[in-house]
Amino acid sequence: MTIQGLLYIALVFVLVLGCAFPMGRYMAAIFEGRLKFLAPVETGFYKLSGIDPNRAMRWQDYTVALLLLSVIHFLLLYAILRLQFYLPMNPQHITGMSPALAFNTAASFATNTNWQAYSPESQISNGAQVFGLVVHMFVSAAAGIAVAAAVMRAFTGGGLKAIGNFYADLTRITLYLLLPISLVAATLFVIAGMPQTFGPFLTAHTLNAGSQTIAIGPVAFQEAIKEFGTNGGGFFNANSAHPFENPNAWTNLLENWLDIVIGFALPIAFGFMIKDKKQGRALMAAMAIILAVAAVGTYAAEAKGNPLQIADGVSAQQGNMEGKEVRFGVPASAMFNVAATGTSTGAVDSFTDSYTPLGGAIPLFLMQLGEVTPGGVGSGFYTIIVFALLSVFVAGLMVGRTPEYLGKKVQAKEIKLAMLGVLILTVFILTGAGFSLVTASGLGSLGNNGPHGLSEMLYGWTSATENNGSAMAGLSANTTLLDYGLGTAMLFGRFAFMVPILAIAGSLAAKPKLPESVGTFPTHGPLFIGLLIGVIIILGGLQYLPADTLGPLAEHYLLYAGKTF
């Protein structure tokens, strides 16, 4: 490791955390409906769609609206992908996807996962990218933030019967947050050299009288919402390692900022909404500490180099540069990877399959924690609220007192729902990976044998279920088993977790908000932050330890023992 590398990681955190505070205040104003500078546009949407933004929704109504919209958008995207050959903006005359691949892709983009089991340059048209994928990048991101806003409202008062209006939340979040910043970021990307065109691919004539097709399209705008909405689905198969998707170090830094700034701003917005900023800062601190340790740990593992390459005479000075872009280097690549797996983005500017075992294990572990560092847009916040409830429950057990969080009693109903949400993810990840590894189809998808093959499959199922979307490149995912299996895992990982969260929000909203007393466990200081981090690691991560031991940790042992695997 070098001082310059550590300073780069510190720079990313300073830029993100510094902007999280004003953005958090701004987002609180959005959630409370106080912003009016786009009121004519907002009102026009409501009139066009027949929505009454003032209608208060119970948690059941909010959930039904969310699920109904998601089902409709899933079916629309599936139809677009199947019929893209006949639809406009297809200058390359790309044929429709197979039923299995269309199901997987529709599930992926409807759930903010953006897992790509296809090659974008050759398997999806410009029209399907813009009107199919990009639309869902906005809708799925806004839906996640809307659920976070609903959870925040549960703590704003006592005896509440409603947690907001889903359609109003979705409209305001898109109109006031996602769209304007994405437009600004896209403009900066175009200035930096990213393509933004609806024209056909280019043909270049090479020096040896040959020709080469160069894929271009509306890249810049998709790239902006890809990162800002923690989506991750790239216009190119190489994702942000492609020079058209990430031209230089400045765009890499901007993408890194876009990737995690909303996740850190949401706890700050929470503090403004409940009129207690210290609570929001405590949640943000827990997120930041875990992510910072992960970033430095990944950088250290990669900076040390690959011992097998070093034994063959490769210099260790630059670290493990396999699978990394020279224009970014090890520290920027490690920070980007950790940010993408600490959130639900899953974008890459380097390839995790080429990382050292420990360097690849840390991104995997971040996903297994539930992606709360800072997590996907919206999902990271409501997931850390689940862990906060579990933390005060553990604290209450230790002192023999009914647990409370922000004046709300945490009782059996909330804890059961919280554990249901946590365990449903674990079941899908471990069962799915285990089943795939005992079938011929699953084994045939692996690019490697032994522990690394296990790591590839475990990473794939973790990524899909946690709605991340990144993958180790050695896994061939476009098979019937993985298209349908991982697609189903994405849907359950998203909605089987969201529904219990909204039920918790409804239950807590209805409870009276109790004043703080002498016996109230403080949830804004270092003690609570440490307890919260411990609960996240123990309940979120250690249930995967046996599988991780046989996968990346076994790889690490064999690598440094000088054995092949």
- Distances 321 to 299, 309, 331, 336, 564 between C-alpha atoms, Å: 12, 10, 11, 15, 20
Angle between helices 412-436 and 480-510 (to 10 degrees): 170
Would you state the pLDDT for residue 563? 63
- Distances 270 to 11, 20, 158, 406 between C-alpha atoms, Å: 25, 12, 16, 12
User: Rounded to whole angstroms, how far apart are CA atoms 130 and 6?
Assistant: 38
Helical ranges in 304-356 per DSSP H: 307-311, 329-342
Instruction: List the beta bridge partners of residue 214.
Output: 202
pLDDT in tens, the chain (565 residues): 899 999 999 999 999 999 999 999 999 999 999 999 999 999 999 999 999 999 999 999 999 999 999 999 999 999 999 999 999 999 889 999 999 999 999 999 999 999 999 999 889 999 999 999 999 999 999 999 999 999 999 999 999 999 999 999 999 999 999 999 999 999 999 999 999 998 888 889 888 888 898 989 999 999 999 999 999 999 999 999 999 999 999 999 999 999 999 999 999 999 999 999 999 999 999 999 999 999 999 999 999 988 888 888 887 788 999 999 999 999 999 999 999 999 999 999 999 999 998 999 999 999 999 889 999 999 999 999 999 999 999 998 887 778 999 999 999 999 999 999 888 899 999 999 999 999 999 999 998 888 888 899 999 999 999 999 999 888 888 999 999 999 999 999 999 999 999 999 999 999 999 988 877 889 999 999 999 999 999 888 888 888 887 778 787 767 777 665 5
User: Rounded to whole angstroms, how far apart are CA atoms 331 and 8?
Assistant: 7
Would you state the pLDDT for residue 314? 81
Would you state the pLDDT for residue 199? 85
Would you say 109 and 140 are in contact if contact means Cβ atoms under 8 Å apart?
yes
Residue type, position 208, single letter: N
Which of 552, 56, 483, 52 is closest to 301 using CA atoms? Answer: 552
Tokens of 479: 């098979």
Instruction: List the beta bridge partners of residue 212.
Output: 204
Helical ranges in 36-98 per DSSP H: 39-49, 59-83
Would you state the pLDDT for residue 548? 81
Instruction: Map 97-132 to HEC letters.
Output: CCHHHHHHHHHHHHCCCCCCCCCHHHHCCHHHHHHH
Instruction: Map 283-312 to HEC letters.
Output: HHHHHHHHHHHHHHHHHHHHHCCCHHHHHC
**Sign of the dihedral defined by the CA atoms of residues 492, 497, 500, 501, in that order:** negative
- Distances 26 to 273, 343, 537 between C-alpha atoms, Å: 11, 21, 31
Would you say 90 and 470 are in contact if contact means Cβ atoms under 8 Å apart?
no
Q: Which residues of 131-150 are buried (b: 16+ CB within 10 A; e: fewer)?
A: bbbbbbbbbbbbbbbbbbbb
Instruction: Map 387-412 to HEC letters.
Output: HHHHHHHHHHHHHCCCCEECCEECCH
User: Rounded to whole angstroms, how far apart are CA atoms 375 and 31?
Assistant: 19
User: Rounded to whole angstroms, how far apart are CA atoms 8 and 27?
Assistant: 28
CA angle 64, 163, 508 (to 5 degrees): 105
What is the DSSP secondary-structure string of 130-172? IIIIIHHHHHHHHHHHHHHHHHHHTTSSSS------HHHHHHH
Instruction: List the beta bridge partners of residue 409.
Output: 404
User: Rounded to whole angstroms, how far apart are CA atoms 351 and 217?
Assistant: 23
Residues composing the chain: 565
